[in-house]
Amino acid sequence: MNTVNIIYEDKYFIAIYKESGIEVDDNLIKLIKKENQKIENLYLVHRIDKFTSGIVLLAREENTKKYFEDAFKNRNINKIYHAIVEGIIKNNRGTIDISIGKDKKNPNKRIPLKVKEGGENAITNYKVLKRLKGHTLLELNPITGRTHQIRVHLSYIGHSIIGDKIYSKNAKIYKMKGFALISKEIHFIHPITKKNIDIIVNYNNEFLSRLKLLDNAKN
C-alpha cells in the first residue's frame, strides 16, 4: 500500500487513507496531486494527527469545502476511531468530558485545562471492543474535535494509547513508528446527492500485528 491511497472519489470530494507519519497539510495535497495527476483542485476540510493513520476527507471544489467545514463545525459528521490503550478498562462504555488546552510549557502538547483558564470543552465517548493482555481495544467517538483530544482524554483516565511518545511514559517499550490510533470510520450526508456516505477502512499492518500479539498473549 502507498503512504496515501484514494479510497473514495467523485467530482465533489475524495477520501484518502493515510499512513502514520504523514502531516495533514499542504504537502499532503501536493503528494496526492503528484500521484493522481487528473486531480486539479483539493482543499483540506479537517485534520488528523501526523501519527494517526486512517481516513481524511478533502474537497474538490470551494462549495463542497464550505459544506464540510460547516458539517464538522456543527457535528454532522460522525467520526469513529479505534485505539489500543494501556491497561484494562473495566466499564464497557463511558464518556470523558474534560476541557483541554495548550500546555504553556510545551506548545505542541495539550493538557486538561479548565475553560476559565483558557481550555475548550471536549467530549469523547468510548466503547470497549476487546480486552487484551494488559491492554484494551477501544472504539472512540469524539463529539468535539479538539487538537489531540482522544490522546489527552485517554491519558487523563490512565489509559494512554500505546506508542504515544507525548502522552505515554511507556511509549518506547512498544517500538512503534507511530501510535495505535486509527481514523477507522466516517459517516455523513453527501453534500450534493444527500445520500448516506459510509467510509470504513481496515487496520494497518502495525496496528493489526500489535492487536494479534496482545490478543494471543491473553490466551
Residue positions annotated with a catalytic role: 49
In the structure, how many helices (H) and strands (E) does the chain have? 4, 12
| Alpha carbons 152 and 160: distance in angstroms, whole number | 8
Name the amino acid, one letter, at 209. S
Whether the CB-CB separation of 179 and 51 falls below 8 Å is answered with yes
Q: Is 58 left (phi over 0), alpha (psi -120 to 50) or beta?
A: beta
By DSSP bridging, strand 100-103 and strand 106-112 are antiparallel
Q: Which three cell numbers stand for residue 109?
A: 502538547
User: Long-range contacts made by residues 95-98, C-beta under 8 angstroms, separation at least 24?
Assistant: 95/123, 95/124, 95/125, 95/126, 96/123, 96/124, 96/125, 96/126, 96/153, 96/154, 96/156, 96/157, 97/121, 97/122, 97/123, 98/122, 98/152, 98/153, 98/156
Name the amino acid, one letter, at 87. G
Quick check: helix, strand or coil at residue 60? coil
**What's the length of the chain?**
219
